[in-house]
């Protein structure tokens, strides 16, 4: 079978059938606040009567979590950025099959911490050919492209200082992972690449200033989500109560 025909066949298998839930991805540099905001949004969606599944990349399914350990340990790095891209795509294919597609087809929303845009930025910045990344994405993702991508934009200084503060305050190992050891220039180029992707696809992306206080970022995201999906959330509206904030009396 020709390469093109093989990719088309795999894309067909991964397919777009039955999809009912909404697929939201969160992107940004390290320490941007993606995990924090995913959990805030999940609480607001639940309060609006919408069931949401939280997942992450690399990972999100047992096989993909095994691949995550390899990738973040740095053991794959000596094989080169192309092979890392292949492994991120392999993890993504399993994640789509095992977690994302079943949730969407069951009508749940999926909130995913990083997805294919991270490959474009991280492995793209490392020099992997964009056409090669396109083909990997087609195979791994099929029709399961995000309905909305929330780019939480912070400077590398802010993001990395948060990661360092988290490590020292919660006792997590201070050893940086494979990607946190990159130079400041690399982090800055990645930030710009994320912004470029957002500018190229304004219908999918919303860019949120992640340097603001977490409550303000959560409000901005909620407003953007309500504006993007008025039929799903019209009854809840942007001013829906935030259970997390109510609990702490804020």
- Binding residues (CB under 6 A) for ligand Z5A: these are 28, 30-36, 57-58, 88, 113-114, 118-119, 122-123, 162-163, 166, 177, 179-180, 213-214, 217
C-alpha to C-alpha distance for 250 and 247, rounded to whole angstroms:
8
Output the CA–CA distances (angstroms, integers) from residue 87 to 52, 69, 122, 135, 205, in the order listed: 27, 11, 13, 14, 25
User: Considering beta carbons, is residue 17 or 200 the nearer one to ligand Z5A?
Assistant: 200
C-alpha angle with apex 143: 58 to 226, nearest 5 degrees? 80
Shortest distance, position 230 Cβ to ligand Z5A, whole Å: 26
User: Considering beta carbons, is residue 145 or 232 the nearer one to ligand Z5A?
Assistant: 145
C-alpha to C-alpha distance for 130 and 148, rounded to whole angstroms:
22
Output the CA–CA distances (angstroms, integers) from residue 137 to 18, 71, 85, 119, in the order listed: 21, 18, 10, 9
User: Considering beta carbons, is residue 12 or 175 the nearer one to ligand Z5A?
Assistant: 175
Shortest distance, position 57 Cβ to ligand Z5A, whole Å: 4
Tokens 């219908």 belong to residue: 203
Tokens of 28: 């940004």
Shortest distance, position 213 Cβ to ligand Z5A, whole Å: 6
Shortest distance, position 91 Cβ to ligand Z5A, whole Å: 8
Question: E strands within the chain?
Answer: 23-27, 52-56, 109-113, 148-153, 205-209
User: Considering beta carbons, is residue 7 or 72 the nearer one to ligand Z5A?
Assistant: 72
User: Considering beta carbons, is residue 107 or 130 the nearer one to ligand Z5A?
Assistant: 130
Shortest distance, position 105 Cβ to ligand Z5A, whole Å: 22
């Amino acid at each position: 079978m020709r390469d093109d025909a093989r990719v088309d066949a795999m894309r067909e298998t991964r397919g777009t059938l039955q999809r009912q839930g909404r697929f939201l991805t969160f992107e940004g540099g390290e320490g941007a606040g993606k995990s924090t905001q995913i959990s805030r949004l999940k609480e607001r969606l639940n309060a609006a009567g919408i069931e949401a599944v939280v997942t992450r990349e690399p990972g999100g399914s047992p096989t993909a979590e095994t691949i995550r350990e390899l990738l973040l340990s740095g053991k794959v790095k000596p094989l080169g950025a192309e092979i890392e891209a292949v492994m991120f795509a392999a993890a993504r294919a399993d994640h789509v099959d095992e977690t994302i597609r079943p949730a969407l087809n069951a009508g749940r929303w999926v909130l995913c911490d990083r997805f294919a845009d991270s490959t474009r930025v991280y492995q793209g910045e490392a020099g992997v050919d964009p056409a090669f990344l396109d083909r990997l994405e087609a195979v791994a993702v099929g029709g399961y492209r995000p309905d909305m991508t929330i780019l939480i934009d912070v400077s590398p200084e802010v993001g990395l200082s948060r990661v360092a503060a988290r490590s020292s305050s919660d006792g997590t190992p201070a050893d940086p992972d494979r990607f946190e050891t990159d130079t400041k220039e690399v982090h800055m180029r990645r930030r710009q690449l994320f912004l470029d992707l957002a500018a190229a696809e304004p219908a999918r992306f919303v860019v949120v200033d992640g340097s603001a206080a977490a409550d303000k970022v959560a409000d901005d995201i909620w407003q953007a989500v309500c504006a993007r999906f008025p039929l799903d959330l019209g009854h809840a509206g942007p001013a829906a109560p935030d259970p997390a904030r109510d609990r702490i009396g804020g």
